[in-house]
Amino acid sequence: MKYLVDYHVHTDNSFDGKVSMAEQCEKAIEIGLKEIVFTEHYDLNPNDKSKGFFNYEKYSREIEECRQKYGDKLIIKKGLELGEPHLYTAEHDAFIKDRDFDFLLGSVHFLGDILLDADFGLPEKELYLKYFSEILELAKTGEFHTLGHIDVLKRYVPPHFKKFLAINYEEIIREILTTTIKRGKGIEINTSGFRQGLGEPLPAVEILEWFYELGGEVITIGSDAHHSKDLGQDLERGINVLRDVGFKAISTFSQGKINFIDI
Ligand SMILES: [Zn+2]
Ligand SMILES: [Zn+2]
């Protein structure tokens, strides 16, 4: 694929980002990306270290500087990764309004006041169902263009849990996908699963197949890079997975307006 894009990228504008925006842009050009979206964390959960970290003015200034410096080689877009946006709809709406974001990812990183990587002390099935119920609420009422890493819990579960099998949660996952499609929204394929040893993207291929079968068309692709070495990693592999499932295009966004790129 000639037109490679990365729709899930962090910089040091995110509390856990390890790289400057300029460095990410340089790396993007080096590896041949055509378009990049800086989807920085924006979180409101009081227990989240990320809360209050994102500085829109600094971020926007850097976007402008990078567009001036690299804009002839790379399309640079403004985005956010909203944490649990269904729980903070009014606050998120107020923040996003009048700010010129191109693209919004909606993600779940917390269950209640607890970060996903904690030990919840719950049996496997119960924990996954609790997590997917939260994603379902996000799909129903949250603000986003695509749902971030739908099955990310599989990355954080205790080692004694079995390998994540989407089929065990098919009913609720299909409900998440149907709800998302009905709202005219989509999902992302997050390629970080490959480099983090999961051996599959997020979400798992079965979930992508259900999304396709249900008529889902809006799908963005991203590496979820917090370091420049991870930028754009496995995007081609992710595209191949999508092609194998049957998808003909991926989505890009400008000021919230969708566009499709053939794959
Ligand atoms: Zn995330
Ligand atoms: Zn992220």
Q: What is the pLDDT along the chain (263 residues), one digit of tens a residue?
A: 679 999 999 999 999 998 999 999 999 999 999 999 999 999 999 999 999 999 999 999 999 999 999 999 999 999 999 999 999 999 999 999 999 999 999 999 999 999 999 999 999 999 999 999 999 999 999 999 999 999 999 999 988 899 999 999 999 999 999 999 999 999 999 999 999 999 999 999 999 999 999 999 999 999 999 999 999 999 999 999 999 999 999 999 999 999 999 99
Question: Amino acid identity of 117?
Answer: D
pTM assigned to the model: 0.97
Which ligand ends up closest to the CA of 155? 1
Compute the distance between CA of residue 171 and CA of residue 157 in angstroms, rounded to an integer.
Answer: 21
Residue spans of alpha helices (H) in the chain: 21-30, 56-70, 89-96, 124-141, 153-156, 170-182, 192-195, 205-213, 235-245
For the CA of 80, the nearest ligand: 2
Q: How far apart are the CA of 106 and the centre of ligand 1, in A?
A: 8
Ligand nearest to the CA of 106: 1
Task: Report all structural domains of the chain as residue ranges with CATH numbers, in order of start.
Answer: 5-262 (3.20.20.140)
Amino acid, res. 80: L
How many angstroms is it from 122 CA to the middle of ligand 1? Answer: 22
